[in-house]
Amino acid sequence: MDFEEINLKLYLDELGLNHENKTLNNRITIQKAVFIGQCAGIDMGFHYEWHIRGPYSRDLTPVYYRFNRHFNDGETEYEYCSLKEKVKERISEFKDIIKPPDDVKLETPQWLEFIASIMYLMNVFDGDENKVKSQLRKSNKSGYCKYYPKAINKINEINIFKEKYNFS
C-alpha cells in the first residue's frame, strides 16, 4: 500500500465514507469527496477536469482501485497511520457538506456531484452564477438546480477556500 492509498483511506474514514469502489455511486462519492476536500485545502495532489458527472480526476481513479485491491488482499498498513490533527480539524469543519440537507431529495452521490460541480464551475467562471447555472443545465443537472440556493449556502457555510493543509 502506498502513501496515496493510505491517505485516501484515512481521509474517507474521517469523513465517514465507504472506500469500496464497486458501484458507480461509490466511485462518484469518492471522486467528489476528494475534490471538495482539495477545495477546502486538504492537498491530496489530484488534478481535476470537467466530466459529464462534474469534476473528475483520472489520477485518483487508479489510487482507489489499487487501495481496494490491497485492502481485499488483507494489507493493513493504514492501521499504523493517522491524519495530522490540523487535517482532521479542517475535515470536521466541512464534513457536514457530505450529506444533503433533509429537505433536499437527492442521494449523497448526486448531492456531492451537484455541490462539486458548482464549486468547480464557480472557479472556472470566476463566480458568475448565470454561467454556472447555464453549464449545470447543459450537463443534465437541471433537475438539481432547484437546490442551487441550498447548495450555495452549504458551500458558503464551510468557508471552502480557507487555506491549504498538507498530509506530509
Q: Which helix (H) or strand (E) element contains residue 60?
A: helix 60-72
- Sign of the alpha-carbon torsion through 84, 21, 122, 150: negative
Per-residue pLDDT tens for 57-69?
A: 999 999 999 998 8
Task: Identify the residue with better confidence: 142 or 161.
Answer: 142
Per-residue pLDDT tens for 91-137?
A: 999 999 999 999 999 999 999 999 999 999 988 998 888 999 888 88
Q: What are phi and psi of 128, to 5 degrees?
A: -75, 100
Rounded to two decimals, the pTM is 0.90
Q: What is the pLDDT of residue 161?
A: 55
Q: With a cut of 90, say whether residue 145 has pLDDT above it.
A: no
Q: What is the pLDDT of residue 110?
A: 94
Window from 8-22, 30-44, 154-168 with minimum mean pLDDT? 154-168
> Rounded mean pLDDT of 72-95?
91
Q: What is the pLDDT of residue 163?
A: 46
Decide: 145 and 133 in contact? Cβ < 8 Å.
yes
